[in-house]
Structure formats: C-alpha cells, structure tokens
Structure 1
Amino acid sequence: MKLVFCGTPQFAVPTLEAVIAADHDVALVVTQPDRAAGRGMEMQPPPVKRVALERGILIAQPEKIKNNFEFRTQLEDIRPEAILVVAYGRIIPQWMLDLPPLGCINLHGSLLPKYRGAAPIQWAIANGENVTGVTTMRLDAGLDTGDMLLAKVVPIGQEETAVDVYECLAAVGAELMVETLCGLADKSIFCQPQDHSLATLAPILKREDGLIDCTRIAQSVYDRWRGFQPWPGAHTTLRGKKLIVHKMHVTAHPTGGEPGTLFVQDNAMLLVCANDTAVCLDEVQMEGKRRMSAAEFLNGYQIKSGERLQI
C-alpha cells in the first residue's frame, strides 16, 4: 500500500520499520518538530524522524495541521490508501480522517475501550492490571473512540515497570499493524464498535501523580511507582526536603506505626502504608544530592525508626 506514517517517539519506531520491511510504500513520514533537549538544550530530532532520514523517506514536521493548507495539499497529492498514526501527539483533523480510502489507522497501547487517553501503558500498570495489550483502530473525531480492527493481549509481569511494558508493546504493536494492513487489503478483518460503557480514561501524567500516598496499601504504592517510570517517578518529603524513591519493593514490617512512618531494620528502610502494609525503599535521592542505596542513606542521614514523612 501507499501509506503516510504519523508518529513521534521511540514507541512508533518499530511500527514504521515493520511496515517498511513488509514492502509498503511509506511516501511521507509526519512527525512533530525538533525540540530542544538535554543539558545543552540543543535541537533534537524525534526518533521517528531519525529513522525516516536513514531510510531516505520524505519528512513533514508541521507545527499545526488543522488549517494547514500546504500540508493538506501535500497529503492530497500523495493520495495514500491509509494513514498510520502511532503516538503522533497531535489531534487528527476531520479532513485528514476523511482523506484515505482505508481511513487513519491508529495503534493504541491498551485493550480498548480500557485506558483511552495519553498514558494508557502507565495507568494500566499503576492500577495493578495483570494484562494489557495493543489495539489497532480506525480513528474518528473522539478520544480513542473509533472502531477496533485487531487486538493482542500482553501479560504484565509483577516487577515490570512502564519502561519494560512500553518496549514490549511497541514490538507487539508493530506486528499487529502489519497484520492489520494485510487484513484490510484482503478484506478479511472488519471494524468492531467499542462498548463505550466499559471505557476508562488514562489522562496525561502530572508531576503530582508521583507523590507517594501512604494511605494506600503497599501494593498500590508499588504499582504506582512501577507505572510512573521514568516520569513522574515516586517522591515524598522528608525533613522538609523532596525525597525521590528510585527503587522500592513490597515487604513485611514490624507491627504498629501510622502510614508514613519509617522503620529501620537490618540496613533496610521500610515505609508504613495503609492496612499494616509496607514498602522497602531500596534506592533514594534527597533533593540536591546523589542517588544512594538505603544503607548509605540511613548511615549518612542517621534515620531512626519512628521518623515520619510529611504526607
């Protein structure tokens, strides 16, 4: 097929490479503009753009697309059979949805209608789900509300973070997109409407989502830490300063103590959570200081059992 591919981050790269390997004609790659990043704040191209440059594919990086006449003319001249959209990061306007005969095909990082929104992978893990998956769908004017095409279930390991699941779903999704294009070409797959009554939302992450809430049970605190990697992570306040928790695990702890209380046990730092549960803070970083193991931190800051976090 002649395709236009819209995508920006690393999550979209395996799909772009897979459709190229499947001998589809990617006539144009559409990605977001280069952004300043890193300590030097130098302009950095999106990962999808890097692949397009290596492959010699024409690239477009419009800042806006809804009323962009030049961009619309470019797509109309290409006359793609389908437009693929994978983590592009822009709302697709109606004129673009209507352009290709097979529609705009989106790869979404959840099992729709669950976890519609900007952060489906993160929220699935943060909510303690045991499985997630990827879904291909035809985009419409709503937020991830279009008809589904294919889906594949992927288990979530109990110790996997969003970074781990992100990489897995990117690879599985790439295969599913190729399978979807084959099915559309030979008319062996059909659209299936979503049951909107089952929809749950996965809103864009905020810095506050990383605040450790000790009134939750330990498993929930740990799941949120897993889901919110690498950002916003997990943080709290100790002695009036921000304390970032880089690693943690669920553990048993001495009985007694209110949520937010620290216990020191054999060079381990335990944090009491709700319902007499606890997490072990394995690696932490005080505001303005370097990352430390729990043993280093306990020794350096002379933490004593019974000290409380500010919650």
Structure 2
Amino acid sequence: MYKTIILGTGPAGLTAAIYLARANLEPLVLEGPEPGGQLTLTTDVENYPGFSEGIMGPELMEVMRKQAKRFGAHFERGWVKSVDFSERPFKLNVDTLGEIQAGAVILSTGASARMLKIPGEKKNLGRGVSTCATCDGFFFRNKKVIVVGGGDSAMEEANFLTRFASEVRLIHRRSELRASRIMQERAEENEKIFWSYNRTPVEVLSDGKKVTGLKVKNNETDEEEVFEADGVFLAIGHIPNTRFLENAIDTDEDGFIKVEPGTTNTNIPGVFASGDVQDRKYRQAVTAAGTGCMAAMDAEKFIEGERIIDWSQNLSEGQT
C-alpha cells in the first residue's frame, strides 16, 4: 500500500515526484520500458529554463530523477498491465511487482509520436529526424528540411520551420490534405514552403552522422525519388499511452485523458493526469513539468482533505 503512485518518468512524472516527496507523501514512481520519456530521444535541449548553455535530453531527465530521489521518491521498473479505479485504495497490476495499491495515482505516461517505421528513421532520431519543430527548429537555420504529414500539425510545423530553414518541403502521401482550409491557406501563402503530393516516404538517408535526405515513392508512377534535406520532421500525430487503462478513465476520441479545466483532476476522484497524456496542444517539456507540479499539488490537497474528513469522523465518534 502506497500513499501515492506516479506512472511515468518524463518531465511531468518526475516533477510530480519531486513535489510529492518534499510533501512527505513517499511516492512510488513506476518507470516503464523507456524511462525519461521522449526527451531521452532528444539531443540538445535549449529551451528548458535554467540551462543557459542547453542540456542533453537524457541528462536533463537524469538530473530530475536524482532530485526526486534526494527527497525520498522511490523508483521501480515495471509495466502496468491493468488498473482498478472502481474503489479505493486503487489497485494496479504490475508485471514486476504483482498487485500494488495506492491512495492516489498520477498518470504521466506521455504520448508517443507516430513514426513512419521506415529504414533510417529510428537510428537518425536526434541526428536530423525530429518529431517537434518547436523543440528542434532552431538547429536548422539556413538549411533545407522536410515535413511529412497532411494535417493541421504538419501545416503549423511547416510554417514555424520557415522562420529558420531556407526551404521547407511538405510531403504528403495523398493528393489532398487533411488540414483545415485556413491552415492550408497559410501554408500555401508561404513562399518558403514547397509541395510534394502523392509521395510515400521509403527511407531516411544519412551519411552515418546526419540526415542527408528522404527517399520517397511516387504513388502515381511507382518511381522512387530522393529529396535532399538536412532534417526530416514527422508531423503525423501522437498516440497517448493509455491503452493499459482499458476504459477505466474518461478519454477523448483519440485516447487523451480528459481533465477538469484548470486542474489535473480526472473523472475519478484521487486519480490525476499530467503531461502529454492529457495535453494534445503544447507537448513541451516545460508545460509537462508544470502540469506535473499541478498534479502533485492536487493529489496532496486530495489526500489532506481525506485526512481532515477522517479526523472529523473520529471526533464525532468520540475518538481522540
């Protein structure tokens, strides 16, 4: 039985761990198969406050982990197979620990960027392949980049990248975009954006150190082409890591956890959500950390409120 359990060790989960540990709520932090979240796939992080010279993504996560441990957070490796939020204490079935219980739970399992699953993609993450223009666009000043996607996110990322890149080529596998008309028009009016429809990415090309281009198949002719580029940005959506919840909590149509506006409260009292698992808009390390702080404070308030209720009941029953 634990007072609080945190699922996930990205910026949201680790920030929640720091706050809960300092509040003497002795959090158990469950690390999944990829401790540190998406930042472990990032090289230089230059937009996280407090690091004037920047910091490597994995290093930032390790610093935050050590900080949480210093205040008493306990870490365990394990994959949550199922949860039972129907009554308290909440029950979690973990592959390495069996069934464990908690008075409050913070869900910070993040969201995974959709990948193309083509050769050269995974090994070049951080070497020119990116899933976040806001995070990495600065590194491509005066360089050619490619954006893969056809939705609003792709249009937004392409427009953002024109602030830095000399040329942005948008590649989409269909003949028509899925993006809203207003987002399409903004991109079409940008002289730095070039369009390649009916192209399916086949392979990310590199010289062994950095990306050099993208090989695609022309869906109309079946011929292969190579577009030279210094970076390839994937803008084909994110998948929230919520499958294990199996409808135990309210989510939207894409699986992102719903929270009460202005809080991290879910529809289950005592269960809170922070970070990218409930944020489909910003998806930044600093915003994830902010909601991790909110979740810890919401959890502390919830637990403290229960203590007050128990204390009041004891008095009414004549107990001291």
**TM-score bin, normalised by smaller chain:** 0.3 to 0.5
Larger RCO, structures 1/2 (Cα 8 Å, 6+ apart): 2
